[in-house]
Amino acid sequence: MLIAYQGVPGAYSEMAARRLFPGCKTLPCETFDEVFAAVEKRKADRGVVPVENSLGGSIHHNYDLLARHALTVTRETYLRVEHALMALPGTRLQNLRAVISHPQALAQCSDFFARHPQTKAVAWYDTAGAARSLAENASLPHDAVRVGALASEAAAEIYGLKILKKKVQNRTDNYTRFLCVARAAEKLPLEGPFKTSLTLVPARNRAGVLHAITGVFAARGIDLTKIESRPDPDNAFDYRFYLDAVGSAKASPLKDALRDLKPLTRELRVLGSYAKAALPRKGRS
Amino acid sequence: MLIAYQGVPGAYSEMAARRLFPGCKTLPCETFDEVFAAVEKRKADRGVVPVENSLGGSIHHNYDLLARHALTVTRETYLRVEHALMALPGTRLQNLRAVISHPQALAQCSDFFARHPQTKAVAWYDTAGAARSLAENASLPHDAVRVGALASEAAAEIYGLKILKKKVQNRTDNYTRFLCVARAAEKLPLEGPFKTSLTLVPARNRAGVLHAITGVFAARGIDLTKIESRPDPDNAFDYRFYLDAVGSAKASPLKDALRDLKPLTRELRVLGSYAKAALPRKGRS
């Protein structure tokens, strides 16, 4: 099983791929677009992409790619994002002059930089890429022995770096949700709970149509675990909705609800049904 | 009028502040938290922060700050995000070896880098900050005459850089929504339409409560222009909702709808009412 992801080895997306497919091989891609293309063109069996972060929100670009490509969502998982501070063996924390990482990771560790004013936060393309640049001594802002990187603990192992400090991030409630995309649906487990992701554009945008749509689910006792509207900049009165409903699209009651939604929508697409993953709790990963 | 924003002069947030308050003075802050603190502690009259981007989604961190601080939303505006490529006077496009900017801006201009493979995209903390670093020749990846920056056209003017190319971004439908926060409500214009932002936690999370909530608005003919659910990692069955409804919280029918929402919610907070801004259309900014 070969799983495409965006980033370099040690990326959080790669960790999500390994959690979903233990023992899988992984295919690093430069962009999310390449992940979808790799699956579509059979260069990879599956792709794993982040779709929302608890602090940052939904990653609309990946929802756009889901809408644009004829792939199916087959799995989901949540990953707690925990940054480790790593450096070349022999480097001591008090000698660090710069720490490189993705700007979001640097921002998530701002308390560390406030406590260590002699250490500058330097933006890098991505987290695991920063660990790799440090290991390869590639265009670093200082001598390599004065530079650290913030990335996953897995990245430290891959690039032979020593972890100086674990869980450097300010907040523990930072997690990312990943979806797995495939060319065809996977066989669902025998037992649920399941979840189904949908995207739809209401038939007409007037007060009441959203209520009619939520009513289709409520009437059949179906829980919605996500609802999100997104304005369409080309049509100021059009909204696209992303919904996650509990259940499988192939079985009642969700199957019936989808049929009832048809007359209420201009566009309705089932992105896929999959086993419902548990949300991570505080203090667990 | 002094308006706090995150970033340095020439930042998109500062442009949003100037669009909302023509002729205002602006106070640059390092973080969004500092923007809220500046308003709360009367160091600034207002703050202007981005809350959602058409490609990236809602910026949950700023919604968290809205929930945590006792400030009121008093205005909104949309800004089309257009990146200009700028450099020191005398630099020619074909001599550029590196272009510095925020990673999101670099990603939004990936077509340019694909067409100019000799030019490397180098991550920087923020867009206007990249223009300032270039003008100040501060820790650049190459000689300054071989470096460009991607930032707003305003940043080029502020830092004395020459624009080599306008609108370098791949897509034109990239816009950001900004909210203005104040210590107290502003007087609304005489004529609407108005909008009101709310956050709520349903009274109990069961199938049907979302339908009951949308029903409160539908029953009174009130349009919802945004609805977004966000899971609470501490309480896997709790969701927080962000809603924008058309109308003022001080006037019927929205005032009555808010009263009807009370028994359906464990938490209900009006973040503010303000004049509804138009969504930008393609080809306009």
Put simply, the answer to whether B54 touches A233 (Cβ < 8 Å) is yes
Put simply, the answer to whether A222 touches B207 (Cβ < 8 Å) is yes
Helix (H, G, I), strand (E, B), or coil: what is residue A280?
coil
B9 near A CB under 8 A = no
Put simply, the answer to whether B207 touches A229 (Cβ < 8 Å) is no
Range from A226-240, B71-85, B181-195 carrying the lowest mean pLDDT: A226-240
CATH number belonging to the domain at A194-275, selected among 1.10.10.10, 3.40.630.30, 3.40.50.300, 3.30.70.260: 3.30.70.260
Distance CA A151, CA B285 (A): 38
pLDDT digits (tens, 9 = 90+) for B160-191: 999 999 999 988 778 899 999 999 999 999 89
The full DSSP string for chain B is -EEEEESSTT-HHHHHHHHHSTT-EEEEESSHHHHHHHHHTTSSSEEEEEEEETTTEE-HHHHHHHHHS--EEEEEEEEE---EEEESTT--GGG--EEEE-HHHHHHTHHHHHH-TTSEEEE-S-HHHHHHHHHHT-S-SS-GGGEEEEE-HHHHHHTTPEEEES---S-S--EEEEEEEESSPPPPPSS--EEEEEEEEESS-STTHHHHHHHHHHHTTPPEEEEEEEEETTEEEEEEEEEEEES-TTSTTHHHHHHHHGGGEEEEEEEEEEEPPPPPPTT--
| Domain covering A84-165 assigned CATH 3.40.190.10 in the classification | yes
Which tokens sit at B5?
């924003």
Distance CA A239, CA B223 (A): 12
**Catalytically annotated residues of A:** 176, 178
Nearest to B111 by CA among B78, B147, B85: B85
Tokens 């674990």 correspond to: A166
From the list B56, B206, B229, the residue facing A228 with the nearest CB is B229
| Domain covering B2-80+174-182 assigned CATH 3.40.50.300 in the classification | no
pLDDT digits (tens, 9 = 90+) for B130-151: 999 999 988 777 788 899 999 9
Chain B residue nearest residue A216, CA to CA: B211
Please tell me what DSSP assigns to residue A13.
H
Question: What confidence score (pLDDT) does residue A284 get?
Answer: 43
Distance CA B208, CA A213 (A): 12
For CATH 3.30.70.260, list the domain ranges present in chain B: 194-275
Q: Using omega within 30 degrees of 0 as the cis cutoff, is the peptide bond preceding B141 cis?
A: no
In this structure, are strands A98-101 and A147-151 parallel, antiparallel, or unpaired?
parallel
ipTM value: 0.77
- Taking the CA of residue B191 and the nearest CA in chain A, the distance in Å comes to 20
Please tell me what DSSP assigns to residue A144.
G
Distance CA A19, CA A22 (A): 6
pLDDT digits (tens, 9 = 90+) for B7-65: 999 999 999 999 999 999 999 998 899 999 999 999 999 999 999 888 777 888 898 89
For residues A197 and A242, is the Cβ–Cβ distance under 8 A? yes
Q: Residue B64: how many CB atoms within 10 A of its CB?
A: 18
For residues B102 and B61, is the Cβ–Cβ distance under 8 A? no
From the list A61, A211, A236, the residue facing B214 with the nearest CB is A211
Put simply, the answer to whether B208 touches A221 (Cβ < 8 Å) is yes
CB contacts, 8 Å: A236 with chain B: 278-279, 281
For CATH 3.40.190.10, list the domain ranges present in chain B: 2-80+174-182, 84-165
CB contacts, 8 Å: B59 with chain A: 56-57
Interface of A with B in 169-228 (CB under 8 A): 173, 175, 206-208, 210-212, 214-215, 217-218, 221-228
In sequence order, the 6+-apart residues with CB closer than 8 A to the CB of B6 are B13, B28, B29, B30, B31, B32, B34, B35, B49
B32 near A CB under 8 A = no
Nearest to B251 by CA among B182, B183, B191, B211: B191
Task: Find the mean pLDDT for residues A10-29.
Answer: 96
B110 near A CB under 8 A = yes
Interface test with A, best of B31, B33, B53, B58 (most A CBs within 10 A): B58
Range from A40-49, A92-101, B138-147 carrying the lowest mean pLDDT: B138-147
Question: What confidence score (pLDDT) does residue A236 get?
Answer: 54
Give the confidence band of A285 by pLDDT, cuts at 50, 70, 90.
Answer: very low
B57 near A CB under 8 A = yes
pLDDT digits (tens, 9 = 90+) for A241-269: 999 999 999 999 999 999 999 999 999 99
